[in-house]
């Protein structure tokens, strides 16, 4: 039953993304994710160690992931229109490898409290925000924006 709460977060996040992204665009949609992740980190830092409270923190974090994943997946596949399936598979495989390595490292370091997890979430939120800002400031992204502006 507890696993349903984060699953609802993913479902809710992707639904929100599908409804709002066409209106505000990928960049603004992706920038909502760090806000939700910081909220989750603060929640996990201060919440009592009870299953329901911990799952609410997970819900916030997974809601952010549900918002970010469709945007990121679409942006990853954009340059590889001919090989979108391979690009999606490589992206998903890379995510699984990195998440497995990070999880193993955190277990080895002795991550055992909710506030420990909140610090990890803050660290990865900073990395995510940096990557979002860097990704939209690349030369290719600026050229794509110029082409889109000329077309409209």
Which structural domain range is residue 10 located in? 4-151
Which of 118, 139, 98 lies closest to 47 in space, CA to CA?
118
pTM (predicted TM-score): 0.85
Q: What is the number of structural domains in the chain?
A: 1
Which of 15, 16, 65, 11 lies closest to 40 in space, CA to CA?
65
Percent of the chain whose predicted confidence (pLDDT) is above 90 = 64
Mean pLDDT of 48-67: 93
Q: What is the pLDDT of residue 82?
A: 83
């Amino acid at each position: 039953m507890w696993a349903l709460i984060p699953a609802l977060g993913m479902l809710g996040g992707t639904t929100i993304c599908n409804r709002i992204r066409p209106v505000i665009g990928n960049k603004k949609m992706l920038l909502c994710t760090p806000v939700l992740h910081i909220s989750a980190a603060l929640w996990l830092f201060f919440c009592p160690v009870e299953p329901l409270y911990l799952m609410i923190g997970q819900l916030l974090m997974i809601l952010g992931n549900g918002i970010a994943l469709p945007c990121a997946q679409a942006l990853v596949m954009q340059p590889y229109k001919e090989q979108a399936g391979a690009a999606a598979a490589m992206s998903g495989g890379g995510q699984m490898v990195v998440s497995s390595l990070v999880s193993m490292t955190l277990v080895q370091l002795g991550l055992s409290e909710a506030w420990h997890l909140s610090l990890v979430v803050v660290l990865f939120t900073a990395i995510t925000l940096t990557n979002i800002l860097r990704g939209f400031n690349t030369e290719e992204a600026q050229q794509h924006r110029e082409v889109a502006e000329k077309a409209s």
